[in-house]
Structure 1
Amino acid sequence: MTFPIQRMTLAVLATLSISACAHEHGAHDHEHGAAAATEGTQRATEAVANLQPTVGSPTQGTIRFVHEGDQIRIQGEVAGLEPNSDHGFHVHEKGDCSAPDATSAGGHFHLPGQKHGDPARDDDHHHAGDLGNIHAGADGVAKVDLVLPQKQLTLGDGPQNILGRGLIVHKGKDDLHSQPTGDAGGRAACAVIKAVR
């Protein structure tokens, strides 16, 4: 009679042990998932976009995005442009520059209901990703220095987050009104916006 009781005791202990391990494993997974979600929504103070040329284009450069108070400062240089020319400059939906012409970056980054427009107007009548035009000097280099409010772009917060999205320099000038892209032509260079710190 002692054998069945010992077997039953062992079976109960084994069940409790397995249950405790499963609970511990499940708690670990939950904590890991919460940590991953927190990491994915952390705010950056600085991001960089290393622009690479599309097929047949000499355009390249480096653009930095720096969080300053309630604004984002965008600075850098873009080289390999036509001398004395203007070029559309936009944040695009996807951080994917794999297509030879960078169409893999998708369209302009925008929030629901936004249309393409002039970011210099302080009336929210433009895509979140509309950055206007950059101007290349006689040497074919555009020096970029823009300041935008966080209500347009952020580095990790809310729906305006641009981390992981694409940055595009277009081959032509953005007319700031044609829908949906400002008639800025093809894509000369593409980058993925990545957090630095």
Structure 2
Amino acid sequence: MSTVLLRRSLAVAGLVGLAACSTTPSHTTARAGEAASTASGATVTLTPASGSLISGKLDIAPIAGGVRVSGEIGGLARGSTHAIHIHEKGDCSAADATSAGGHFNPAQQAHGRAGSGPHHGGDMDNIVADGNGVARVDVRALGVTLGGGATDIGGRAIVVHAAPDDYASQPAGNAGARVACGVIKLLP
């Protein structure tokens, strides 16, 4: 077999192999019985609430079984720990952000920790500020989607609280005042 023909055969075999291995990425695949996200992502601009100076920018991306929330939040006390939740209403107009309502809870579960038994769809792990008062956020919300259905978080709000979530107290983890709020805006 000539060198040119051998190279062509190997190239075709490689392309066929790549096509056979190609699947939908796991970050957009829903588990059986769950709705799938139809939006590619979302953004949140957090603004101060309850007289705080806390603000930030977050990105939200679909993952298997939920969404990943990442970004930065500044204006926090150095080394402080704070709860962060998705709330049911996309309304941050009240000075104390109470207009955002309670935690988003489409499955009507008790408050808890995402990934550790029953929890609200809006429950996420606490965030921790560094020595400069900035929290680098990388948390997940499970059982929610972006872009449609009863579990859709598009148009709802993310709220940062003054205290950490204890993951047990009902209905909101004893997380304290709402110190920042932002509406989840789906990407076009």
TM range (shorter): 0.7 to 0.9
Report whether the alignment pairs 1:187 with 2:178: yes
Shift of 1:112: 4.2
State the match for 1:173 in structure 2: 164
Report the secondary structure of 1:160's partner residue: coil
**What is the CA deviation profile of residues 143-166 of structure 1, one whole-angstrom value per residue up to 9, with x for unaligned ones?**
0112455xx110013211100001
CA distance in 2, matches of 1:188, 1:148: 20
What is the RMSD computed on CA atoms of the aligned residues? 1.6
Report whether the alignment pairs 1:84 with 2:79: yes
Q: Which runs of 4+ in 1 moved over 6 A?
A: none
Kept in 1, the 8 Å contact 2:162–2:178? The answer is yes
More helix, by proportion: 1
CA distance in 1, matches of 2:111, 2:64: 26
CA distance in 1, matches of 2:66, 2:158: 18
**What is the CA deviation profile of residues 69-106 of structure 1, one whole-angstrom value per residue up to 9, with x for unaligned ones?**
65522110000011111101000010000000000000
State the match for 1:43 in structure 2: 38
TM-score, normalised relative to structure 1: 0.73
Letter in 2 for 1:94: K
Quick one: percent identity of the two aligned structures?
46
- Which of the residues 71, 79, 90 maps onto 1:95? 90
Report the secondary structure of 2:38's partner residue: coil
CA distance in 2, matches of 1:68, 1:90: 17
State the match for 2:100 in structure 1: 105
Report whether the alignment pairs 1:157 with 2:154: no
Aligned length: 152
**What is the CA deviation profile of residues 108-145 of structure 1, one whole-angstrom value per residue up to 9, with x for unaligned ones?**
01024311001141x3x000000121111111100011
Query: Could you say which structure has the larger radius of gyration?
Result: 1
- Which of the residues 111, 117, 128 maps onto 2:121? 128
